[in-house]
Chain A
């Protein structure tokens, strides 16, 4: 192994999964990060899917820098995913977290030996299963300022009448101006209350959807709401969850999601998958 080469790891599977009655699984057509050929390293009854990477790009210092470059991250994440996704269609596996780079084949073997029990356990738990992602947002555009209870934040609301609203003098300023001001204030309060209620309804609905889907899944993970900057969605994300399923249950699960989307018009529900079981390969806390 050359000094300037590292071993990028994609997934781990049981040794026995790569050969069966139909012969050996052929991975020679799969290319990974940096378009390198994917190969396997087998030790301690486990097989790691790996490829060689240049430490100039994937060594510790370079990785730290490159991970902060979104274009680089986008490309590498997709290459990593491509290998895992292709292999997961052929045999049960554990996806390995992005940017796990070893110094050489011997280091991979040492890690497989060190974590042997944990890896076999995890393979038994999630190997061969799939995950579906479900995200939920409020169905309608948020009100102009649903969060702020301040009546004067009326940028997008109807234009206030000429009377002084903010000063609190509207009531005593008897006359048509004051009456209109009070009416506006009431209307605005009603709008804000309605917006809050709409939001609370959507939050409750998202929780109900999650409870319903959790009951149908083998396991569940909740993700934090995604960054609106990255997703491009301005509405607040109310649910970002992953559900682990036997592949044979995908049809009924996705039908259930569609049914929930129809039943909960107050939500916009998005479904992604089937994914390799990324969200369930590690421990509960993601490690």
Chain B
């Protein structure tokens, strides 16, 4: 899951960017050009998106982390 390189490594990120870093940028940022668009992501509750998406499928992605606490 963690694909970006630690600085102890080469100092350059791996080819495949990590999804979480990518979602920070493409979901919450990028220029918003409203107009006759089918759906502005700004109108969608991002918290809802990330939570629902995470809760439904992230356990499979992250693996067998014990649910402590």
A residues contacting B by CB (< 8 A) are 6, 9, 12, 55, 58-60, 63-64, 67-71, 73-74, 77-78, 80-81, 94-103, 107-108, 110-112, 114-115, 119, 122, 133, 221, 223, 226-227, 229-234, 240, 242, 254, 257-258, 261, 268-273, 275, 278-282, 286-287
B residues contacting A by CB (< 8 A) are 1-2, 4-8, 11, 13, 17-42, 44, 48-50, 52-54, 56-59, 61-63, 65
* Top-5 shortest CB links A-B: A111-B35, A97-B30, A278-B25, A107-B36, A281-B31
A229→B53 CA distance, assembly (Å): 11
Query: Taking A258-B7, A270-B7, A273-B13 as contacts, is the C-beta distance between A77 and B30 under 8 angstroms?
Result: no
Asked if B41 and A100 make an inter-chain contact with CB atoms under 8 angstroms apart, the answer reads yes
Query: Taking A81-B26, A269-B7 as contacts, is the C-beta distance between A282 and B53 under 8 angstroms?
Result: no
Total residue contacts A-B, CB cutoff 8 A: 188
* Interfacial chain A residues near B5, Cβ < 8 Å: 270-271
Query: Taking A70-B53, A96-B30 as contacts, is the C-beta distance between A102 and B38 under 8 angstroms?
Result: yes
By secondary structure, the A interface counts as mixed
Asked if B32 and A97 make an inter-chain contact with CB atoms under 8 angstroms apart, the answer reads yes
Asked if A258 and B56 make an inter-chain contact with CB atoms under 8 angstroms apart, the answer reads no
Asked if B23 and A73 make an inter-chain contact with CB atoms under 8 angstroms apart, the answer reads yes
A227→B20 CA distance, assembly (Å): 8
A272→B21 CA distance, assembly (Å): 8
A115→B52 CA distance, assembly (Å): 33
A227→B35 CA distance, assembly (Å): 32
* Interfacial chain A residues near B42, Cβ < 8 Å: 97, 287
A115→B19 CA distance, assembly (Å): 30
Asked if B35 and A102 make an inter-chain contact with CB atoms under 8 angstroms apart, the answer reads yes
Asked if A231 and B28 make an inter-chain contact with CB atoms under 8 angstroms apart, the answer reads no
A78→B3 CA distance, assembly (Å): 14
* Interfacial chain B residues near A270, Cβ < 8 Å: 4-7
Q: How near does chain A come to B50, taking the closest CB pair, in angstroms?
A: 7
Closest to B42 in A: A287
* Interfacial chain B residues near A108, Cβ < 8 Å: 35
A34→B58 CA distance, assembly (Å): 23
Asked if B11 and A282 make an inter-chain contact with CB atoms under 8 angstroms apart, the answer reads no
Q: How near does chain B come to A112, taking the closest CB pair, in angstroms?
A: 7
Asked if B7 and A96 make an inter-chain contact with CB atoms under 8 angstroms apart, the answer reads no
The interface centre, meaning the residue of B17, B31, B36, B53 with most chain A CB atoms within 10 A of its CB, is B31
The interface centre, meaning the residue of A221, A230, A278 with most chain B CB atoms within 10 A of its CB, is A230
Q: How near does chain A come to B62, taking the closest CB pair, in angstroms?
A: 5
Query: Taking A107-B35, A111-B37 as contacts, is the C-beta distance between A71 and B17 under 8 angstroms?
Result: no
Q: 12 interchain pairs (CB within 8 A)? A: A12-B33, A67-B44, A96-B33, A98-B30, A103-B37, A103-B38, A107-B37, A223-B28, A226-B21, A258-B7, A280-B29, A282-B32
Asked if A60 and B11 make an inter-chain contact with CB atoms under 8 angstroms apart, the answer reads no
